[in-house]
Amino acid sequence: MGFSMVGSLGSQICARNSHQRKLKFESFSHRRKHTLDFNFSKLRSHPAKILLSKRDAFEFEERTSPNEVRKEIQQCYELIHRLGRGVVYLGSSRMGPAHSHYLQTQELGREIANLLDCTSWSGVGPGLMDAATKGALQAGKPVGGFKIGKEAGEWTASNFHPYLPQETYLTCRFFSARKHGLVDAIVRSSSSDRTAVVALPGGIGTLDEVFEILALIQLERIGSKLPVPFLLMNYDSFYSKLLDFLDDCEGWGTVSKGEVASLWTVCDNNSEALTYLAEFYNLPLSDKDKHGTELQSIRGTVSS
């Protein structure tokens, strides 16, 4: 069983036939056509580098992604088994330390880690993921993560985190493996497991992860024996227009009335999030947490 593959780059067209293991380039310039064929060994697949120009070089190799993805997913599971399940933070990689949401997230990461006494998980990238990581470290609690090579529209300088020990995170090549890890980290097998999903302000990547996990919860495919709290952090009404859109979806009939609201809890500030988690897991809030809740309530009243 074979296949043909065709790709293009500018005026170059690449054709690959798996039966003949042949790579063909056809270059079109004005009215002239140039064809360049490359034959590969039938015995073994080797990476081949074709120099298209002085600046561009492309590697073509036989993909073994099914096996590689399976291996990476297993590595994710092993890391979770070693560090323990806990809270997964999803959020923007672009909101840096100078942003107010960064400071709020750092505080939230610290207080949730103290409250639930669990591992804090994220994509261990920059921005709000970094804020949650630092907050948990301030609380003296374990952190773990699934790093990816590209964040905030730019390739990272290396596969290594700037300050976390290498044994606490995994640099994933495949988004599918990373998502498996983020989902498995929140699974609750017993009542002693304290996990949660905390969706912070973010862009396309954050929304992708938010709605994928939300759909798994909706369809009861999350793999958890017990319910997992899902918090949407609506800092400064960041998600208000999204919530309005989902309300409109109810009007259009694309979601059932009250369906989305039953899947998550919308929190306008950290105090609401901490109060909800304390009630969900029947945990007492410390005097410090209660004092912080009162201060945030006062701030909210003054600002409104």
Convert the pLDDT of each residue in 108-148 to its tens digit: 999 999 999 999 999 999 999 999 999 999 999 999 999 98
pLDDT reported for residue 174: 87
> How far is it, in rounded angstroms, from Cα 142 to Cα 18?
47
CA-CA distance, 99 to 166, in Å (whole number)?
28
pLDDT for residue 300: 45
14-49 pLDDT, tens digit per residue, is 444 444 455 554 444 444 555 555 555 554 544 444
> What is the average pLDDT across 205-216?
97
Alpha-helical segments (H) within the chain: 65-83, 100-116, 128-138, 175-184, 204-218, 240-252, 270-280, 287-303
Please tell me which residue, 299 or 279, carries the higher pLDDT value: 279
Of 87, 79, 81, the C-alpha closest to 195 is 87
Q: Are 38 and 48 in contact (CB under 8 A)?
A: yes
Mind listing the pLDDT tens digit for each residue in 40-94?
A: 555 454 444 444 443 333 333 434 668 888 999 999 999 999 999 999 999 999 9
